[in-house]
Structure 1
Amino acid sequence: MIFNLDQWLIYKGIEETAAVLIANAAAVVMILLISILAFIVTKQVFLRILAFYIHRNKILWDDKLLGRKVFRRLAHMIPAIVIYAVAGLFPEYSVSIQKIAIIYIIMAGTLAMLALLDAIDDIYQTFEASRFKPIRSIVQALKIVVWIIGGIWIISTIIDRSPLLLLSGIGAVTAIILLIFKDSLLGLVAGIQLSSNDMLRIGDWIEMPKYGADGDVTDISLNTVKVRNFDNTITTIPSYALISDSFKNWRGMQESGGRRIKRSIFIDSSSIRFCTDDMLEKFKEFRYLSEYIENKKLELEKYNLEHNIDPAQLVNGRRLTNIGTFRAYLQAYLENHPEIHPEMTRMARQLPVTEYGIPIEIYAFTKDTSWESYETVQADIFDHILAIVPEFELRIYQSPTGYDLRHMGL
């Protein structure tokens, strides 16, 4: 009927030009109605049936496809396919109509492919491997490729040239492309290196002072890595910066099951002395020192006797000192502390003398690696150490304060 509509209108007395125009308009309306009807049927019937089936089955990956609207974007291709199929009704405009339909199909297909890549990333994140080998940067790189291919295809359709011809000439604009996508290319290379060398995972605690980052990695994308700092601020770091610059990853500490304590107190050197008999009797009453004092006294008496040393003079022979006994107490204290990891290094050591006194360093690892627990255990240990220092007739070094100066009469 549509093919002869213009003749029928002419037969009814309408001018030929007007008749042809009306017939073409009627055909356009008919094509649009058919296209819209096809889209509605696809969306309201087919997609609903498909969604019902997807929600009812136990497969998880198809839910990701539905959530990313892959099928809905594919449905947009139906009207364009209908228009392309009936373009022959307009011989004069069929080529232009088909080009428009093809361009629309390419755009819908490109958007569907982008949604499919997002769905693949969502599906991959349901696996445990996604924590160790994230593919977000690869997916984003593929999106750029899809956009480029889609754009070249559209341009080739408009100018009626082969896409391969455009691809062969793309080398002429390579420098421009490299300049435009410099960050993306650097990010892609960085993402591959980070993933292949297992340098970074989502959930890792990292420190990067240059960018003010100190927190957990929440996202690894093509161009950036997002870090949620412990004050709940977000720091965004360029992906390639993690390759070109240094950063600290605390994952090893978390996986080892122990977090290091490495802190010193400074002993006033003027308070160091040999232990007297009264001091040793006092130290023997300390829980962790009784056996140590007994064994050490026997060892020193035997040594002095074997070497005919007169102990009447303090400088002769070997003697216990209050700082050495204090260090032995700290060693035993760490070895018996319930929150210190027994299979890792536990050590109380003396460091080189400084202008602030003699450093006694605690080097040990807590069992619990969480920040709050670690700080609590560390504080409890040093609270105890600072409180017992006077029991060994030692003093903690500190610079004179106003309180000290007032008591000196200054």
Structure 2
Amino acid sequence: MNNDVKLDVHEKPKWNQWLILSMQHLFAMFGATVLVPVLTGLSPSVALVSSGLGTLAYLVITKGQVPAYLGSSFAFIMPVIAAVSIGGPEGVMIGTFTAGLIYGVTAVIIQRTGVNWLMNVLPPIVVGPVIIVIGLGLAGTAIDMAMNYDEASASYINPSLHFSVALATLFITIIASVFFKGFLNLVPILLGIIGGYLVAVAAGLVSFQSVIEAPWLHVPDFVIPFATFTPQWSWTIVLIMAPIAVVTLAEHIGDQMVLSKVVGRNFIKKPGLHRSIMGDGAATIVASLLGGPPNTTYGENIGVLAITRVFSVYVIGGAALMAIAFGFVGKVEALIATIPGAVMGGVSILLFGIIASSGLRMLIDNQINFGIKRNLIIASVILVTGIGGAFIEVGDQLEIAGMAFATFIGILLNAVLPGKEHGFGNRAMFKSLDEAANEDDAA
């Protein structure tokens, strides 16, 4: 155990410290967790509740050994938007449930055979470009929100005013991210939304009437199978959302490696990568049963752990309970609903760009050589088919489109083109996983 650790994984804080420490994690995840449902047309209250319950499920499955918080996944924004347009919020739940199942099946296979097979299917030359597609594919959505695009009239309504608010939001977010220190540096999204919201209020874009009329306590608009709707299977929705789970698995592994370094414990070895992936899948399945977006481990909360040196799972659990409680506060959901699209658009310009840049960073970190034609071909095809919105129809009921199609074709090209070893670059992920797997428990 490191000497500078304030509270270790299984240590319980005093109640007054507990409240403050948990609230820090709530603030860290809040902006991003509610942003995803706002962008996709789902309920922010349900997202908060499913985030909290999903985190508690994760803590149970990982035997209370991994202090990770789970919130709404940005990687699924584009697929969720597409799924909502096809089958409404109910249709999203089918895709979310399937994504959770993929996590579960993968966890079982990893437990029995190890993780190298997954890295062989998803080398950096495939995952990097797909992540770029995830970010750039949403660029149009961010700009439309920032400039107040109205679908009914197919035109921008007062674009100068709204884009000015979006730019103010963007600049506040950038300033918070670059110049703020300590905990404030970890919540630039939340600070950007708050700052942009105040600018929007000054610009006359916000009405508080709905907040005044909203009750303090309410039951979120849960979307529960066989209670609020009867599930109808859709292969199109499944094939839109399920492939993203394959990609986010690589991100999950990266998060676990970073978390292990921050805490000073080998979570890849104990409780095991299979348990953390299973926990992530369970959290996503919980979301699917309530009407929330898919969940994933949050880097913002890992950052809070790194700064505070408080690794207690009790603190994480406290934040999860707070998130659940906030989901039942009617005025919170009403207040979130008053945030103008320009504010969300301003934040999204940075967020979606960062998603794309993280894919580029994966290619750079792994030293992928684009002088090799094989790598150039795979990346090029993934980028154009994914961002361009290519699709194929199989029969009358099945369509493989956009990001899903790009992911499939990337995996296929990687499997059939010669020189497969070039797709791994310097194999940094393999080396790190091998080192983690070979460490002694005493380490």
**TM-score category (smaller protein):** under 0.3
Higher RCO (Cα < 8 Å, 6 or more apart): 2
Which one has the bigger strand percentage?
A: 1
TM-score between the two structures when normalised by the length of structure 2? 0.17
